[in-house]
């Protein structure tokens, strides 16, 4: 086969591959763990008080962050992070537009969003970590980071579609920082600090299935309907927060995005306005990346095939060069070929 024909055939196969080939290479999506726990964040209930941020810092013994430009007035009283960082595991951000006259409205409105780890059902960070420093609990599904195993490669940072893990570049022995849903408090029978202090129940902890049912209850209510919203942990005996339901986007974010997440969102404005990626598949990225790796490296067939192809091309080009070189004969190089070649080159 001529090289041009070979390239045409390869291009045709590549064009046809995405639909059938990609599906064939994908591994099965991972299911929701049997005892999955998580969080429901309701943006329409959030009042932007940032009590969750303070509680997170205190519960995880994290230092405050002060902006350099705020040094003159901020003498250490205020924690003023602008984004997630190795020492800020959750943060309240705001969407604003125009006059900001009305909450949870796109035009001339505003809305709050709480950003932290979404504890994906099929997390890219766990898939990308070469030393298992990122770990997903097989029962609860919580994604945790073990600093004692971390080698600082930052693959988890680059692979997370939500931009959550952050690396401490200011420390020569920097580490990854991210929300672990206060697993140390859960081990003592507590709940995540952010949910514990939320005054309106905007951050609600509990089993994922119960949280999904609660989300559907809210989505089914007509806007303006007065409801009782549980606070802290769903099913607990805490006094509820009574308020009118918002005009929800009719979708529970995290129910299907990237194979599902254990931290889910309800909001009154489109989720992309809140910085949540919406143009994403319904399966996690590791379903393709791991499927491709496993296929290529199964029995080392892929690398062996690649090596064989490279050897073939190298040997073919050597023969072609020899055929074009008058110093070579059918029996090989002439006895004084080296001298003739040197004379020719000079």
Tell whether 264 is covered by a domain. yes
Residue 203 has pLDDT above 70, yes or no: yes
Q: Which position has the token pair 């290479």?
A: 25
Q: Supply the range of the domain harboring residue 165.
A: 37-283
pLDDT tens-place string over residues 229-268: 999 999 999 999 999 999 999 999 999 999 999 999 999 9
Tell whether 273 is covered by a domain. yes
Measuring CA to CA, which residue among 166, 161, 238, 170 is closest to residue 204? 238
Measuring CA to CA, which residue among 127, 179, 181 is closest to residue 158? 127
Residue 342: the pLDDT is 62
Cβ atoms of 248 and 221 within 8 Å: the answer is no
Q: 318 versus 125: which is more confidently predicted?
A: 125
Structure tokens belonging to residue 270: 């489109």
Half-sphere exposure of 186 (CA within 13 A, CB side): 16
Tell whether 1 is covered by a domain. no
C-alpha span between 41 and 48 (Å, rounded) = 12
Q: How many CB atoms lie within 10 A of CB 191?
A: 20
C-alpha span between 179 and 89 (Å, rounded) = 5
Tell whether 99 is covered by a domain. yes
Tell whether 13 is covered by a domain. no
Percent residues over pLDDT 90 in the chain: 67
Tell whether 31 is covered by a domain. no
C-alpha span between 85 and 166 (Å, rounded) = 5
Tell whether 140 is covered by a domain. yes
Q: Could you give the 3-state DSSP secondary structure of residue 264?
A: strand
Report the domain count for the chain.
Answer: 1
Residue 67: the pLDDT is 74
CATH value at residue 252: 3.30.70.20
Residue 287 has pLDDT above 80, yes or no: yes
pLDDT tens-place string over residues 139-179: 999 999 999 999 999 999 999 999 999 999 988 888 999 99
Mean pLDDT across 305-325: 75
Tell whether 341 is covered by a domain. no
C-alpha span between 199 and 6 (Å, rounded) = 66
Which residues of 237-294 form beta strands (DSSP E)?
241-244, 263-266
Report helix angle 286-297 to 301-324, nearest 10: 60
Phi, psi of 163 (to 5 degrees): 65, 40
């Amino acid at each position: 086969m001529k090289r041009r024909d070979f390239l045409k055939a390869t291009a045709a196969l590549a064009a046809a591959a995405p639909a059938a080939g990609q599906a064939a290479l994908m591994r099965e999506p991972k299911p929701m763990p049997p005892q999955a726990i998580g969080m429901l964040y309701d943006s329409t209930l959030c009042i932007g008080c940032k009590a969750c941020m303070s509680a997170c810092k205190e519960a995880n013994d994290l230092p405050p962050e002060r902006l350099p430009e705020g040094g003159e007035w901020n003498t250490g009283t205020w924690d003023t992070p602008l984004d997630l960082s190795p020492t800020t595991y959750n943060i309240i951000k705001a969407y604003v537009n125009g006059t900001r006259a009305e909450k949870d409205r796109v035009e001339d409105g505003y809305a709050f969003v709480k950003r932290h780890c979404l504890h994906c059902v099929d997390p890219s960070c766990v898939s990308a970590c070469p030393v298992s420093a990122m770990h997903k609990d097989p029962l609860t599904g919580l994604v945790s980071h073990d600093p004692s195993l971390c080698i600082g490669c930052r693959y988890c940072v680059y692979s997370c579609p939500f931009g959550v893990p952050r690396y401490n570049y200011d420390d020569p022995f920097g580490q990854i920082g991210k929300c672990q849903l206060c697993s140390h408090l859960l081990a003592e029978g507590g709940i995540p600090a952010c949910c514990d202090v939320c005054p309106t129940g905007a951050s609600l902890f509990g089993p994922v299935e119960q949280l999904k049912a609660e989300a559907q209850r809210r989505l089914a209510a007509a806007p303006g309907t007065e409801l009782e919203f549980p606070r802290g942990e769903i099913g607990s005996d805490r006094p509820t927060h009574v308020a009118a339901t918002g005009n929800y986007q009719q979708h529970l974010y995290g129910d299907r995005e990237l194979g599902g997440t254990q931290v889910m969102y309800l909001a009154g404005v489109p989720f992309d306005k809140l910085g949540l990626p919406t143009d994403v598949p319904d399966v996690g990225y590791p379903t393709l990346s791991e499927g491709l790796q496993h296929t290529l490296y199964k029995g080392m067939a892929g690398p062996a095939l690649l090596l064989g192809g490279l050897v073939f091309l190298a040997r073919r080009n050597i023969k072609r060069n020899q055929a074009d070189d008058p110093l070579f004969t059918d029996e090989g190089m002439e006895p004084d070929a080296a001298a003739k070649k040197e004379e020719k080159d000079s």
